[in-house]
Structure 1
């Protein structure tokens, strides 16, 4: 590949990374071309469709996510292993909207995503099973509950991000307190609650883009 082609590909991937993180997977290849400062045809020569670009941008993130899940399985303390994984997931999803959408769906029909999915799901199942067996997790909690819990925390984090980007830590602690066994010490909430004014400002920030698109 020529040097200018390499530079263009790097610009395209970096532009896509920024846009996916900020706006999620709804962006178009036209958006990427505009941000990268290249023609749309240049983007299509490098990536035939958006799925290929998503795979290129998020493969590394997904690999690290799978590594984190597998590492948590081997934590010497089953409860802290579960907390370690949930915290990793919530933290990374809270700062990257596109990664949040990718990791919580994991249904893109590409070989790269299949390989990662086949690592993540068994690891999360093992995290939950270890915690249940150790008696530190409520016995009726399932692996799908963990994914749903992370999704709920991420949704709240996305809502409150304009006024308090660290609020996910509070909601994560609340949720973990709700699934722990009675033998596990309750976590203190690490971040204060949103004020009424912050809730109102978060609502305004959420509806403003929709209003501008309607205009």
Structure 2
């Protein structure tokens, strides 16, 4: 008697290399234009900058919310990668924190912050997962500097990320590139204020991740 054989599993085809490149070009172009012009920039303009047709944009992202979410997640992923690289450094712990802060500012997190609070679902699983990766890795970077006695004890994750967002936010009506020469100078001033031993007592309490979620 012959036994029934299990049906062969269907293989999910991998996206073609050119399709992946097109998707990446769209996300890169969207990030640039969201930073320059805001999240309401026409998708047709994004397609032109990416060098793809309108149909390619809609094939990858059925609506604006899907594209905005992908851009925000990609920025968070690059920020998490910067934190992971900082953790991999074998030198000065506070130097690793400095490196992360400057790289995170270059990602223009502040320009994308309004999108996180816009119409799309900020509790989407992809966004939550990306946010958790960033939070965990940044906490590790900060804790290493704290354990080395280089980071003051009264500073929390929220303090760091709020300051990075505020200092990297361009003034109203000012293009990002025009303030780059001030950004890293002022960030370094802020970082010097994080060093232990503390030279002053901070008002209030350290800002936590939960504080940021509830803000």
State TM-score, norm by structure 2. Answer: 0.63
Counterpart of 2:106 in structure 1 is: 91
Q: How far apart, in 2, do the equivalents of 1:84 and 1:138 lie?
A: 17
Q: Which runs of 5+ in 1 are unaligned?
A: 184-215
CA deviation digits over 1:120-177, x for unaligned, max 9?
Answer: 1011112222222221111101111111110121125775746443210111011112
Measured after TM superposition, the shift of residue 11 of structure 1 is 7.4
SS at match of 1:48: coil
Q: How far apart, in 1, do the equivalents of 2:34 and 2:117 lie?
A: 15
How many residue pairs match? The answer is 180
Counterpart of 2:180 in structure 1 is: 165
| 2:107 aligned with 1:129 | no
* Counterpart pick for 1:138 among 137, 152, 166: 152
Q: How far apart, in 1, do the equivalents of 2:117 and 2:163 lie?
A: 11
Measured after TM superposition, the shift of residue 57 of structure 1 is 3.9
Using CA pairs below 8 Å that are at least 6 residues apart, which structure has the higher relative contact order?
A: 2
SS at match of 1:117: helix
Q: How far apart, in 2, do the equivalents of 1:11 and 1:88 lie?
A: 21
Q: How far apart, in 1, do the equivalents of 2:128 and 2:102 lie?
A: 24
SS at match of 2:82: helix
Counterpart of 1:147 in structure 2 is: 161
| 2:41 aligned with 1:27 | yes
**CA 120–14 in structure 1, closer or farther in 2 if over 3 Å, else same:** closer
CA deviation digits over 1:9-45, x for unaligned, max 9?
Answer: 7875565344223123243546546767866x87555
CA RMSD of aligned residues (A): 4.0
CA deviation digits over 1:35-63, x for unaligned, max 9?
Answer: 67866x87555423222112344544432
Q: Which runs of 5+ in 2 are unaligned?
A: 1-14, 199-215
SS at match of 1:16: helix
Q: Please state which structure has a larger fraction of its residues in helix.
A: 1
Counterpart of 1:114 in structure 2 is: 128
State TM-score, norm by structure 1. Answer: 0.63
